[in-house]
A and B are shown apart, each in its own frame.
Chain A
Amino acid sequence: MRPSSLVRLSALLLLVIFVTMPEAFAFLFEPLITPGAPAIYNQGSLFALTMQHLRTVCLATLASTLLAVALGIFVTRPSGAEFLPLSRSLVNIGQTFPPIAVLAIAVPLVGFGEKPTFVALFLYGLLPIFENTLTGLTQVPPTALEAARGMGMNAWQRLVQVELPLALPMILAGIRLSVIISLGTATIGSTVAAKGLGEVIIAGLQSNNIAFVLQGGLVVALLAVLVHDGLGLLERIAARKLGRSLDETP
């Protein structure tokens, strides 16, 4: 096994063991707490919170991906070209608006819980995916498109058989960026009562328990590293088929 896959596997193993039986790690956190306080988060299952956290992030990213890719496709068609500047500004607003402000606005509209977090993550995740979809679609070699047209592919066939496959590595890179941002950002969702790893951190802050804060942070960080790595692998597979690594843009 290559060293990189070994590191990958150990990180995954560490995460799984930690969230399923955190008590086994109590000795590590005991030096950090005031005597008598719990060393391991005890207000719920770490595993359940991790799954909740992932669920929110996945759903929000899925929604951002669908909208951003659809928008990216639309504005690169001749009929949609005039909407490019408008779409860009809309997506940019989603990114520049701080997620905490989105939460504040969303709560009165959709109530407390997972929904406002979902809205914030969704808006926040649009930009990287949209921009990468645009880049990917506009970088398709013009000769390939000309050949596709010359061989009698209609617009739909060109999109599905030529443009999207060639833009795929770029789109995947955008999704990866978006997921990583969301994994971290989702922790603030707990301020509006969304179930997630933010709960652990907030509980730690409220009871002045550094061990809790560290545990929440650790799990989020491990998740981010693993997801980053996993999606990166996918991108490289997609890019290798195109005969170039991602760093050398054609």
Chain B
Amino acid sequence: MITIDHLTKRYGSTLVVDDISFEVEEGTLTVVVGTSGAGKSTLLRMINRLVEPTGGRVLIDGEDTRTIPEDALRHRIGYVIQGYGLFPHRNVADNIATVPRLLRWDRKRIAQRVEELLDLFQLDPAEFAHKFPHELSGGQQQRVGVARALAARPALLLMDEPFGALDAVIRSKAQDDLLAIQRRLGTTIVLVTHDMNEAFHLGDRIAVMDQARLLQYAAPAELLMHPADDFVERLVGTAERPFRLLSLTKVQEVLEAGRAEGEPITASESLHEALSRLLWTGRAALPVADAAGAIIGQVSVGSILRHGRPLP
């Protein structure tokens, strides 16, 4: 668990991070979102002490990060930045091996780990291990950047706009891949973005920042239904709000009895997906199938609408 405790950063007389406290549960993905200049990167960089706090502290599993030597702390925390910062003079395998080498793992263990990570990120070792960063596409560079950050199996991964340089299609794939890998490895992630869609897509919890302050720290649904103030409400987007809410809910949760006609939808899909299929096919209800493909009920426009307009 990561505890951010009254963290403050001041440059001269300007407050860049103003007395922020929150906790990140083990194995969850927290998104820090806010407008440009809100202090998100500064907050993130105080966690691995790339920026020294003016006040407050950060605890990792109860251990004050100030008691750990800087470099040792950073060996334990993965870090991915916009643009990735791959080393242009090192090939993919050597880039990924950076932290294990700093930790003096033996050769065999490093080679094994590199291969494992390349597989995990769907980069064929035979093809990619010896390529240099300039020979990779943006999406491949991004995957190498994350693989490098995960090389020494950090329990915590910090990501600063890791998808900022990708086009929309690749970005959405990269987000899904990150979620899959996070679920699989159980890594705790703190991710900074200014993209609200990204925040809702990825976040178990979302921290909204504006002008150095933390306005709200809550689960996505909570943020939608009970925004702490006007700024959060505007940021969440009044027009998109119901659709975001639908995206957060699974078909499973509004399942009703019945046998509608048509192509079935899987119970683990979101209501957003179900509604869009209903609109497109012009039907009033769709059959719902479980993971194995057996029909287990139906989902109707009426049930989705009822869910999309929660009573206060």
Contact = CB atoms under 8 A, between A and B. Distances in A.
Interface of A: 141, 143-154, 157, 162, 165-166, 241-244
Given A153-B98, A242-B134, 15 more contacts: A141-B85, A141-B88, A143-B83, A143-B85, A144-B85, A148-B85, A150-B50, A150-B158, A151-B102, A151-B148, A152-B75, A162-B87, A165-B89, A243-B88, A243-B133
B121 interface: no
Interface residues of B, number: 28
Contacts of B149: 151
Contact of A150 (B48, B83, B133): B48
Contacts, number: 71
A162 B86 CA distance: 10
B70 interface: yes
A241 to B, nearest CB: 6
A157 B48 CA distance: 18
A147 B88 contact: no
A244 B132 CA distance: 11
B17 to A, nearest CB: 18
Nearest to B89: A165
Contacts of A145: 85
A150 B86 CA distance: 12
Task: Give the 8 A-B residue pairs with the shortest CB-CB distance, closest first.
Answer: A147-B85, A243-B134, A152-B74, A150-B79, A143-B85, A152-B71, A143-B83, A152-B75
A35 B14 CA distance: 88
B71 A147 contact: no
Contacts of A151: 74-75, 79, 98-99, 102, 148-149
Interface of B: 48, 50, 70-75, 79, 81-89, 98-99, 102, 132-135, 148-149, 158
A241 B89 contact: yes
Nearest to B85: A147
B212 to A, nearest CB: 22
B89 A153 contact: no
Contacts of B158: 150
17 contacts: A141-B88, A143-B81, A143-B82, A143-B83, A146-B50, A146-B85, A147-B84, A148-B85, A150-B48, A150-B81, A150-B158, A152-B71, A153-B102, A154-B71, A242-B132, A242-B134, A244-B134
A7 to B, nearest CB: 30
A146 B50 CA distance: 9
B89 A150 contact: no
Contacts of A244: 134
A44 B75 CA distance: 63
A178 to B, nearest CB: 23
A150 B78 CA distance: 8
Contacts of B73: 152
A147 B132 contact: no
Contacts of B89: 162, 165-166, 241-242
Contact of B102 (A144, A152, A162): A152
A212 B97 CA distance: 59
Contacts of A148: 85, 87
